Amino acid sequence: MLKSKTFVKKTRSGGVMKIVREHYLRDDIWCGSEACTECQQESTVLQKDACIESNLCSYPHYLIPDTNVVLHQIDVLEDPVIRNVIILQTVLQEVRHRSAPIYKRLKDIIHEKEKHFYTFTSEHHRETFIEREPGESANDRNDRAIRVAAKWYSEHLKPLEAETDGLKVVLLTNDQGNKQKAEESGLLVYKFEEYIKGLIANSELVDRLALSNDDKNEVTSSKVLFPEHLPLSRIQAGIKSGSFVQGTFRASRDNYLEATVFVQGEGEDSTEILIQGLQNLNRAVHQDVVAVQLLPRNQWVAPSSVVLQDEGTAKDDDVEEEEEEKALRISAAEAARKTTGKVVGIIKRNWRPFCGMLNVSQIKESTRHLFTPADRRIPRIRIETRQSSTLAGQRIIVAIDGWPKDSRYPNGHFVRSLGGAGEKDTEQEVLLLEHDVPHQAFSQAVLSFLPKMPWAITPEDMVKREDLRQLTVCSVDPPGCTDIDDALHCRELENGNLEVGVHIADVSHFIRPGNALDKEAANRGTTVYLCGKRIDMVPELLSSNLCSLRSNVERLAFSCIWEMNHKAEILKTRFTKSVINSKASLTYAEAQMRIDDTSKSDDITKSLRGLNKLAKILKRQRIEKGALTLSSLEVRFHIDSETHDPIDLQTKELMETNSMVEEFMLLANISVAQKIYDEFQECALLRKHPAPPPSNYDILLKAAKSKDVAIHTDTAKALADSLDVAKVDGFPYFNTLLRILATRCMMQAVYFCSGMDSDFHHYGLASPIYTHFTSPIRRYADIIVHRLLAVAIGADSTYPDLMDKHKQSALCNNLNYRHKMSQYAQRASVAFHTQLFFKSRGILNEEGFVLFVRKNAIIVLIPKFGLEGTVFFDTKDKVSPSVVFDEEGPALTVQQHTFHIFDKVKVTISLDDSNIQHQKIRMALTEPVIPGVSVPVPDAAPQAKKPKLDR
Note the pLDDT tens digit of each residue in 93-126: 999 988 888 898 899 899 888 899 999 999 889 8
Confidence band (pLDDT; 50, 70, 90) for 948? very low
Q: With contact defined as beta carbons under 8 Å apart, do 763 and 689 qualify?
A: yes
Phi, psi of 443 (to 5 degrees): -75, 165
- Structural domain including 118 reads 43-208
Q: What are the DSSP calls for 827-863, one per residue? A: HHHHHHHHHHHHHTT--EEEEEEEEEE-SSEEEEEET
Q: Which residues, at least 6 apart from 486, have a Cβ–Cβ distance to it below 8 Å?
A: 475, 502, 503, 504, 505, 549, 661, 665, 774, 775
At residue 332 the predicted structure's pLDDT band, cuts being 50, 70 and 90, is very low
Count, residues in the chain: 951
Q: Would residue 147 be called left, alpha or beta, if left means φ above 0 and alpha means ψ between -120 and 50 degrees?
A: alpha
β-bridge partners, 845: 908
- Model confidence, pTM: 0.78
Q: How many CA atoms lie within 13 A of 945 on its CB side?
A: 3
Looking at the fold, whether 816 and 706 belong to one and the same domain comes out as: no
> Cα dihedral sign for 510, 514, 517, 519?
positive
Identify whether residues 804 and 655 lie together within a single domain: yes
Q: Are residues 666 and 739 in the same domain?
A: no
> Of the ranges 104-118, 123-137, 275-289, 300-314, which one carries the lowest mean pLDDT score?
300-314
Burial 818-857 (b: 16+ CB within 10 A, else e): bbebbeebbebbbbbbbbbbbbeebbbbbebbbbbbeebb
Nearest CA-CA partner of 549 in 488, 623, 628 = 488
**Of 208, 235, 265, which residue constitutes the final position of a domain?**
208
One-character DSSP codes across 241-273: HTSSEEEEEEE-SSBTTEEEEEEE-STT-EEEE
CA nearest neighbour of 712 among 696, 698, 701, 703? 701
Residue 868 has pLDDT above 60, yes or no: yes
Phi, psi of 597 (to 5 degrees): -80, 105
Is 161 found in the same domain as 89? yes
Per-residue pLDDT, 527:
94
Q: What is the spatial distance between Cα 474 and Cα 551, in angstroms, rounded to a whole number?
A: 7
Number of Cβ atoms within 10 Å of the Cβ of 950: 4
Residue 364 falls within a domain, yes or no?
A: no
Contact 652, 634 (CB under 8 A): yes
In this structure, the answer to whether residues 134 and 180 fall within a common structural domain is yes
Q: Find the range with the poorest average confidence among 300-309, 496-505, 623-632.
A: 300-309
- Bond prior to 938 in cis (omega within 30° of 0): no
- Between the CA of residue 748 and those of 266, 688, 706, 764, what are the distances in Å? 21, 9, 27, 10
Domain CATH code at residue 912: 2.40.50.140
CB atoms < 10 A from the CB of 454, how many? Answer: 5
Query: Is 70 exceeded by the pLDDT of residue 406?
Result: yes
Q: Is residue 950's pLDDT more than 50? A: no
Beta-strand pair 85-88/117-120: parallel
Distances (CA, A) of 951 to 643, 944, 946, 948: 16, 21, 15, 9
Contact indicator for 173, 182 with CB cutoff of 8 Å: yes
Each residue's pLDDT tens digit, 697-743: 888 888 888 777 888 888 888 888 888 888 877 777 788 888 888 88
C-alpha 913: how far from its chain's center?
Answer: 26
Do 667 and 704 belong to one domain?
Answer: no
Same domain, 756 and 705: no
**DSSP state at residue 199:** B
- Split at pLDDT 50, 70, 90, the class of 638 is low
Q: Are 406 and 284 in contact (CB under 8 A)?
A: no
CATH code for the domain of 158? 3.40.50.1010
CA angle 703, 861, 480 (to 5 degrees): 125
- What does the mean pLDDT of the chain come to? 84
Lowest-pLDDT range of 194-203, 657-666, 769-778: 194-203
Q: Is the pLDDT of residue 334 over 80?
A: no
**For residue 549, with 0-12 CB atoms within 10 Å meaning exposed, 13-18 middle and 19 or more buried, which class applies?**
buried
Question: Under a CB-based contact definition with an 8 Å cutoff, are residues 845 and 937 in contact?
Answer: yes
Average pLDDT over every residue of 298-323: 63
At 881-892, the pLDDT tens digits run 777 877 777 788
Instruction: Report if residue 945 sits inside a domain.
Output: no
Q: Is 850 found in the same domain as 732?
A: no
Count other Cβ atoms within 10 Å, centred on residue 3. 13
Alpha carbon distance 119, 90 (integer Å): 10
884 and 864 in a common domain: yes
- Dihedral of the alpha carbons of 436, 440, 445, 448, in degrees to the nearest 10: 120
Question: Which stretches does DSSP call E strand in 622-709?
Answer: 635-639, 646-651, 685-688
pLDDT for position 307: 58
Query: In whole angstroms, what is the distance from residue 535 CA to residue 146 CA?
Result: 43
Across residues 405-409, what is the average pLDDT? 87
Element of type H or E holding 389: helix 388-391
pLDDT of residue 303: 76
In degrees and rounded to multiples of 5, residue 380 shows phi and psi of -70, 150
Question: What whole-number distance in Å separates Cα of residue 279 and Cα of residue 743?
Answer: 39
- Per-residue confidence band for 410, with pLDDT thresholds at 50, 70 and 90: very high
The number of folded domains in the chain is: 4
**Portion of the chain with pLDDT greater than 70, in percent:** 89
Is residue 316 assigned to a domain?
no
Rounded distance, CA 897 to CA 933, Å?
A: 11
> What pLDDT is stored for residue 326 in this prediction?
56
Residue 949's pLDDT band (boundaries 50, 70, 90)?
A: very low
Looking at this protein, which amino acid is placed at residue 59? Y
Query: What DSSP string describes 536-574?
Result: -SS-HIIIIIISS--BTSEEEEEEEEEEE-TT--EEEEE
In the predicted structure, residue 490 carries a pLDDT above the cut 90: yes
Contacts of 880 (CB under 8 A, 6+ apart): 873, 874
Residue 328's pLDDT band (cuts 50, 70, 90): low
SS3 label, residue 487: strand
Work out the pLDDT band at 793, boundaries 50, 70, 90. Answer: very high
Res. 645: pLDDT tops 90: no
pLDDT at 861: 85
CA geometry: angle 866, 870, 901, nearest 5 deg: 80
Q: Verify that 726 and 588 share a domain, yes or no.
A: no
Q: How far is CA 628 from the centre of its chain?
A: 29
The per-residue DSSP string of 702-736 comes to HHHHHTT-----SSHHHHHHHHHH---TT-TTHHH
Predicted confidence (pLDDT) per residue in 70-81, tens digit: 998 998 999 888
pLDDT in tens, 437-449: 999 999 888 999 9
Geometric angle at alpha carbon 917, from 914 and 918, rounded to 5°: 70
pLDDT at 951: 36
Nearest-10 Cα torsion for 691, 695, 699, 705: 100
The whole-number pLDDT of residue 308 equals 60
Higher-confidence residue of 4 and 943: namely: 4
Among candidates 266, 395, 272, which has minimal Cα distance to 338? Answer: 272
Q: What is the DSSP letter of 33?
A: B
Structure confidence at residue 707 (pLDDT): 78
pLDDT tens, position by position, 878-929: 667 777 877 777 788 888 788 888 888 888 888 887 777 777 788 888 888 7
pLDDT of residue 323 exceeding 60, the answer is no
CA distance 307 to 317: 23
Interhelix angle for 603-625 vs 588-596, to 10°? 100
Please indicate, yes or no, if residue 89 is contained in any of the structural domains.
yes
Same domain, 52 and 85: yes
Total H helices, total E strands in the chain: 27, 38
For residues 82 and 59, give the distance between their C-alpha atoms in angstroms, rounded to a whole number.
Answer: 15
More confident residue, 549 or 204: 549
Q: At 381, is the pLDDT very low, low, confident or very high (cuts 50, 70, 90)?
A: very high
First-to-last C-alpha distance (Å) of the chain: 78
**Within this chain, do residues 543 and 636 fall inside the same structural domain, yes or no?**
yes
Q: Per the domain annotation, does 53 fall within a domain?
A: yes
Domain assignment of residue 455, yes or no: yes
Domain boundary residue among 208, 242, 257?
208
For residue 931, give Cα distances in angstroms to 624, 900, 925: 50, 19, 11
**Domain for residue 951, yes or no?**
no
Task: Give the pLDDT band (50/70/90) at residue 268.
Answer: low
Look at 52-61, 402-411, 665-674, 916-925 and tell me which has the smallest mean pLDDT.
Answer: 916-925
Output the CA torsion sign for 275, 281, 285, 287.
Answer: negative
Task: Check residue 754 and give left, alpha or beta (phi > 0: left; psi -120 to 50: alpha).
Answer: alpha
Is residue 12 situated within a structural domain?
Answer: no
Q: Tell whether the model's pLDDT for residue 274 goes beyond 80.
A: yes
